[in-house]
Amino acid sequence: MDRTYSVAILGATGAVGTELLALLESRNFPLSNLKLLASPRSAGTTLTFKGEALPVTATDAAAFEGVDIVLASAGGSTSKLWAPKAVEAGAVVIDNSSAFRMDPQVPLIVPEVNPEAAAQHRGIIANPNCTTILMSVAIWPLHQIQPIQRIVAATYQSASGAGARAMEEVKQQAQAILAGETPKTEAFPYPLAFNLFPHNSALTDQGYCEEELKMVNETRKIFGVPDLRVTATCVRVPVLRAHSEAINLEFAQPFSPEAAREALKQAPGVKLVEDWQANYFPMPIDASGQDDVLVGRIRQDLSHPCGLELWLCGDQIRKGAALNAVQIAELLVHKNLLKPTAAIAQ
């Protein structure tokens, strides 16, 4: 009989956690056991998996005993607290937070781009930032044909990136504004309904916010090009789910839109969406709930002979978070990489 695995979802009640649950079910992950972990607030509640109500329990060290894989999506501080304990208990942690992403000993993986990095894990594998995952999937196939010299990205990020509570807040704000009331802000610093604002992550001394620097640093690490020139402006927009990105790429030689289209038609995880007659291109509403990153509006950059413009939309909760994490778990299972080879090799 094929092997089955004991899996725990840390942050099971959150926006990404509930998607992880749905994906383990729909992709028929070979489970022997599934534990749903969250904060003490959720202890005693249940979530449905394959028609069965599974209990949600508060997280403690004992929860990781006998667990093979932890899919963590409960925020950075929770990951910092529990991931080392889960690894000590013998689990591999696939962490959706930013806590370990830039740690040189932690592989940062987009399975379509750098699956080989998984072999180097020492117990923790990081799932990249959502905007970085979506961009990487779309531009890596082009980078394989001609190395990218510079990336200029602008993002249009949905409320889902800030969690389930933030999505609810935008809906309530919209209702309040339509009713002539003052919208409440808790999850976000400013009203997002009928508004937008530069990404609400912390600002750094360089003038970039953390989200923008994640795109810079994580793309470099995933692509294995430490000095890749990347710049980004990240903006929160009143979309519930699915992020959009306008990306300008610069190559050493001209890269024709036709060649880019051909490459992206065959690229894993990418769907080309372009109807120039109808002016129909990727939209977050179409990307929501989909696994693929939708790419379109590929065109020559008028301002640079070696520049290429493209537009993409991708489901932040799915490929931008939960799906990528489950794909990493599938990779570990298929390549038999659950034991940390890097630690053993020492």
Closest CA to 125 of 342, 319, 317, 291: 342
* Cβ(125)–Cβ(153) below 8 Å: no
Per DSSP, the three-state class of 37 is strand
Stretch that binds ligand A2P, among 23-31, 39-47, 260-268, 283-291 (CB under 6 A): 39-47
| Buried b / exposed e along 164-190 (16+ C-beta atoms within 10 A) | bebbebbeebbeeeeeeeebeeebbee
Per DSSP, the three-state class of 329 is helix
Task: Figure out which of the listed residues 13, 127, 201, 316 binds ligand A2P, where binding follows CB under 6 A.
Answer: 13
Q: Which of 121, 143, 199, 243 is catalytic?
A: 243
151 is an interface residue for ligand A2P by CB under 6 A: no
CA 192/CA 195 separation, integer angstroms: 5
154 is an interface residue for ligand A2P by CB under 6 A: no
98 is an interface residue for ligand A2P by CB under 6 A: no
Stretch that binds ligand A2P, among 9-17, 200-208, 269-277, 286-294 (CB under 6 A): 9-17
11 is an interface residue for ligand A2P by CB under 6 A: yes
80 is an interface residue for ligand A2P by CB under 6 A: no
| Buried b / exposed e along 43-76 (16+ C-beta atoms within 10 A) | eeeebebeeeebebbebeeebbeebbbbbbbbbe
For tokens 């594998």, the residue is: 125
Q: How far is the CB of 47 from ligand A2P (least distance, A)?
A: 10
Q: Which of 121, 130, 199, 234 is catalytic?
A: 130
Note if 130 is an active site residue: yes
Closest CA to 249 of 303, 306, 294, 208: 306
Note if 334 is an active site residue: no
Task: Figure out which of the listed residues 5, 47, 75, 243 binds ligand A2P, where binding follows CB under 6 A.
Answer: 75
Q: How far is the CB of 293 from ligand A2P (least distance, A)?
A: 21
59 is an interface residue for ligand A2P by CB under 6 A: yes
39 is an interface residue for ligand A2P by CB under 6 A: yes
| Nearest residue (CB) to ligand A2P, 146 versus 201 | 201
Task: Figure out which of the listed residues 8, 12, 151, 222 binds ligand A2P, where binding follows CB under 6 A.
Answer: 12
From residue 136, give the alpha-carbon distance in Å to each of 57, 113, 141, 295, 320. Answer: 35, 7, 9, 12, 10
Binding site for ligand A2P (CB under 6 A): 11-15, 17, 38-39, 41-42, 59, 74-75, 78, 163-165
